[in-house]
Amino acid sequence: MKFKMTPNKLMIALFSAMLVVLPVVSIILPKQDKSEVENRSLQSLPTPINSVKWEAAKTPKDYLDAVKWKYINNREGEAFRDDFEKYLCDHIVGRTEWVKLCNRLQTLSGKQEINGVYTVGDQMVQSFKDYDSEGMEKAAAAINKFAERHPNIKTYVMIAPTAQEFYGNKIPSYAGLLSEKAFIDDVYKQLNGVTTIDCLSYLSAHKDEYICYRTDHHWTSLGAFYAYSAAAKSLGYSAYGMGSFNIETASNDFRGTLYSKNLDDSVPADTMEYYHLANGEPEVTMTVNTGTEIKTYDSLYVREFLDTKDKYSSFTGSNAPLVDIKTNIDNGKSILVIKDSYAHSLVPFLANHYSHITMVDMRYIQTDLGRLVNLDDYSQALVMYNAITFAEDYRNIGKLNLTK
Amino acid sequence: MVFSSLTFLLVFLTITMILYYISPKKLKNVIILISGLLFYAWGEPIYVLAMIASTAIDYTAGRIIDKFDDKPVVRKICLIVSLVMNLGLLGVFKYSGFLINSFNTWFGWSIPNPNLPLPIGISFFTFQSMSYTVDLYRRKIKVQKNAASFMAFVTLFPQIVAGPIVRYEDVQNEIDDRVITEDMVAGGISRLITGLGKKVLIADNIGILWSEIKVMELSSLSAATAWLGILAFTFQIYFDFSGYSDMAIGLGKMMGFNFPENFNYPYMSKSISEFWRRWHMTLGEWFKSYVYFPLGGSRKGKARTVINLLIVWTITGVWHGAAWNFMLWGAYFGILIVLEKLFLGKWLEKIPAFFSWFYTFVLVVFGWVMFDVVSAKTYHFGDVFGQVFGYIGAMFGANGVFADSVSLNYFVNYGIIFAIAIFGCTDALKIIVGKIRDKAPQWVQYGYPIAQMCVMTASIAFVTTSTYHPFLYFNF
């Protein structure tokens, strides 16, 4: 009998193919332990059996004891069936493509925000919709306390706006985005005894330039350059002009954190730039203390990160509790930077004016800051955050209270 | 195990179906039995024993009822044992904690609550296996002597955890002798994918809207937001539940079973009575056969009919969940159906169809308010009413705002899904597809399986993405 294709046969064939090909190919292909685009470890294949006990088992009871019953039976919390489903989802062939398809379908169905990110034209924007105002006040109070307890250190606060402030006007007002300017003004009003630095109006004047990455939540080196210029007067250095720098293109295919959230390929990749002083950069020694190891570099740029997805980390290395930078500028000026990662692309500019810069990340610090660094070493302290992390991370900023 | 998971779609289904199709006829029920137990034990590794015990008792009761055909007392005892055991399981696992908490709250008692978890699908499988002993007692069906076949009926995985409520009567011929045709397999696949799409693409997405509005401060809701929220739930529960039934029916077809239909475009109904003939039809049938008729149905006069209807609907309500709001929800429909039986039904037939549809739909939506806005552990009737009327108040502008930016934002972001959902609640697509299949040339017919594969692909994309969690804080 001759085989004749019918719609029914096609249905059966396609469905069977899908049910067989997807699992088989997924099993055959090598598994990744880590997802670069998601920046997390992927679920490993869970086992409901304690293998050590299983191998040592002799009696049937031993075998029964080797089974992780609770793990199998849990209704809440860690459960074998949930981990197994996660494992399948994490390792299905073409996972990223499936996620892209899902996100595109959501966009087609009218969803404007995917995982907290809006795309307006060629620009991704992280949404800032609400914050804990009490928490914000507590963070501000902790900064005030820090300044009050350390009269010898002059304290500055600079809160940077994110892309939303400049390009959010293209997002409909009913989406309920907050004004970062209003938020920053509000924080500044709560501060006493510290000098606030307004980089927003400086950046706003240049908002038509490439000051924010299209696919990442950070400012570009150009954005950081404008902030560096805005801070010059307060911090007391004379900022170099644009013409004094040689600009190196470090990467042309940078897709950042916002891309990781919505995987929107329609927005072109970013260019990442390093600004080098044309007539000789200062020599630097950068010591990065990750808490588990200490690494020393003779540059502020850790170029090995340029080969990974996480290219922004090439600025002063990835997030570490403590980064200490010594330069050969012999002016005795030293500054303690209490910061989020926005500071990473700002600090290379500051390094042209200070002999000593220390960056601390309050997320990793659970104690009196004075135990980690010698506060007497610094004449200035700069609290540098972007508006969204300042709003979200108030608890960690609040730990400045612990500083004696 | 849930149907809308990769564990089911890409592991369980693939392996089970291959084994099922290649095994000889005699072994197919054994495959059903083993796969069903695994399917159930994946979610309930311990209470699967309760299910096995209940099945064993019903099987034995059935054998004895059959053997002592001429001894009414023995038959009755067996029936009672089966009923007590099944209803006992339901009572202990589903209702004991709720009743204890209610009494403790009302009277200040302190009866210890065993806090038993609710085994998945217990409301379904107890009803299914009870139908067997009752029907056998009534001599409506023949006894099943093969223990594996009986067990296969109970553990038949497509319908084990969320229906349709397949009675033994529905599958008594197919359980021992069934043919699997190409039409059935292809039709089953198509039905499975339709159900998967309804659940994953529509119900789960529109459900996000409701889950957000549900947790908002009630006093902050504008009328439009309140309506959008409860309408989202209205569609979510229909597409979720009917999608699940479609998947079950489709899987059944792929295995050679014809399960009863469970939904028939309920939101097109023009009276509440009609709604309940189109919504969760197998449950309605079950209550009719095993509660309403034994109570006398409508044959014992008007007053008794009214009482019977109210009893049946109140029980139907609490079957949906051990909480007072479900009882209220059931009683609400009982009262509406009584009113329709008494006089409202005649009026509804006379007025233009749009108005009778509108009347039905709005009352059903109010029903969903009772169903879903009351928070868990509400034991005082006053609180139940308070929460229900609080929400209905918000729907009618009790907060003084008709619409705001929140409702506009939801409307823009979910408008298309709402439009798809509204379209999907009507039989328009069914009619269009039917016309195409009847009249279009052969090559167009190939578009149908291809379209269904697109739905399948999109569904897998959504299921996979549910675990997509870019580490939000990374890079700070």
Contact residues for A7 (Cβ-Cβ < 8 A; gap 6+): B186, B442, B445, B446, B448, B449
The amino acid occupying position A268 is: P
pLDDT for B472 equals 47
> Which among B45, B117, B446 has the least Cβ separation from residue A10?
B446
Same domain (yes/no): B327, B381: yes
Residue A271 pLDDT level (bands cut at 50, 70, 90): very high
* Residue range of the domain that includes A279: 132-402
Instruction: Judge if B370 and B265 occupy the same domain.
Output: yes
One domain, residues B131 and B218: no
Residue B416: inside a domain, yes or no?
A: no
Name the stretches of chain B with pLDDT < 50: 472, 474-476
A contacts of B43 (beta carbons < 8 Å)? 81
By DSSP bridging, strand A334-339 and strand A356-360 are parallel
CA distance B201 to chain A (A): 10
Question: Which tens digit of pLDDT belongs to each residue from B360-382?
Answer: 999 999 999 999 988 878 888 88
Chain A residues within an 8 Å CB radius of B420: 109
For position A75, what pLDDT does the model report?
Answer: 76
Note whether A154 and A79 are same-domain residues: no
Q: Could you give the ipTM of this predicted complex? A: 0.88
Residue B280 among the catalytic residues:
no
Q: Of A200, A10, A251, A226, nearest to B449 (Cα)? A: A10
Q: Could you tell me the pLDDT band of residue A164, with boundaries at 50, 70 and 90? A: very high
Number of structural domains (chain B) is: 2
Contact residues on chain A for B401, CB-CB shorter than 8 A: none
Tokens at A272, concatenated: 């990442």
Contact B476 A340 (CB under 8 A): yes
- Residue A36 reports pLDDT greater than 90: no
Is residue A344 situated within a structural domain? yes
pTM: 0.89
Mean pLDDT score, A104-116: 90
Question: How many Cβ pairs closer than 8 A exist between chain A and B?
Answer: 169
Residue A83's SS3 state is: helix
Say whether both B107 and B201 belong to one domain. no
Confidence at residue A181, expressed as pLDDT on a 0 to 100 scale: 94
Q: Do B186 and A8 touch (CB under 8 A)?
A: yes
Residue of chain B whose alpha carbon sits nearest to that of A14: B453
**Same domain? A253 vs A337:** yes
Confidence label for A155 from pLDDT (cuts 50, 70 and 90): very high
Q: How far is CA A357 from CA A284, A285, A343, A363, B14, in A?
A: 10, 10, 12, 19, 60
A189 part of a folded domain: yes
Contacts for B79 with CB less than 8 Å, ≥ 6 apart? B61, B65, B133, B134, B137
Please check whether residue A309 lies inside any domain of the structure.
yes
Over residues A274-287, the mean pLDDT reads 92
Tell me if B439 is assigned to some domain: no
Question: Are residues B31 and B107 both part of a single domain?
Answer: yes
User: Residue A78's pLDDT band (boundaries 50, 70, 90)?
Assistant: confident
Q: Write the DSSP symbol of residue B20.
A: H
Determine, yes or no, domain membership for A219. Answer: yes
Cβ distance of B205 and A73 shorter than 8 Å: no
Which of B185, B193, B465 minimises the CB distance to A12?
B185
CB–CB of B9 and A72 under 8 A? no
Question: Residue A85: which of B7, B193, B461 has the nearest Cβ?
Answer: B7
Last residue of a domain, one of A92, A109, A144: A92
Task: Mark yes or no for CB contact B453/A14 under 8 Å.
Answer: yes
A87 with A137, same domain: the answer is no
Q: Which residue has the higher pLDDT, A322 or B472?
A: A322
Shortest alpha-carbon distance between residue B253 and chain A (Å): 13
Range A248-274 average pLDDT? 93
B41, closest residue in chain A (CA to CA)? A73
The boundaries of the domain holding residue B381 are 185-411
What value does the CA radius of gyration of chain B take, rounded to a whole number of Å? 24
Residue B321 resides in a domain: yes
> B130 CA to chain A: closest CA distance, Å?
27
* Residues from chain A contacting residue B412 (CB–CB below 8 Å): 110, 112, 172, 174
- Average pLDDT of chain A is 90
Same domain for B166 and B21, yes or no, is yes
CA distance B206 to chain A (A): 11
Q: pLDDT tens across A117-131, in order?
A: 999 989 999 989 889
Is B308 found in the same domain as B199? Answer: yes
Categorise residue A291: left if φ over 0, alpha if ψ from -120 to 50, beta otherwise. left
**The pairing of beta strand A284-289 with beta strand A270-277:** unpaired
pLDDT for the residue A342: 93
**pLDDT tens, position by position, B448-457:** 899 999 999 9
With CB atoms and an 8 Å threshold, state whether A310 touches B408.
Answer: no
Give the DSSP per-residue string, B205-224: HHHHHHHHHHTS-GGG--HH
| Residue A51's pLDDT band (cuts 50, 70, 90) | confident
Is the per-residue pLDDT at A390 higher than 50?
A: yes
Which pLDDT band, with edges at 50, 70 and 90, does A39 fall under? confident
Do residue B185 and residue A313 have CB atoms under 8 angstroms apart?
Answer: no
Out of B7, B412, B476, the one facing A84 most closely (by C-beta) is B7
Q: Report d(CA A383, CA A159) in Å as an integer.
A: 8
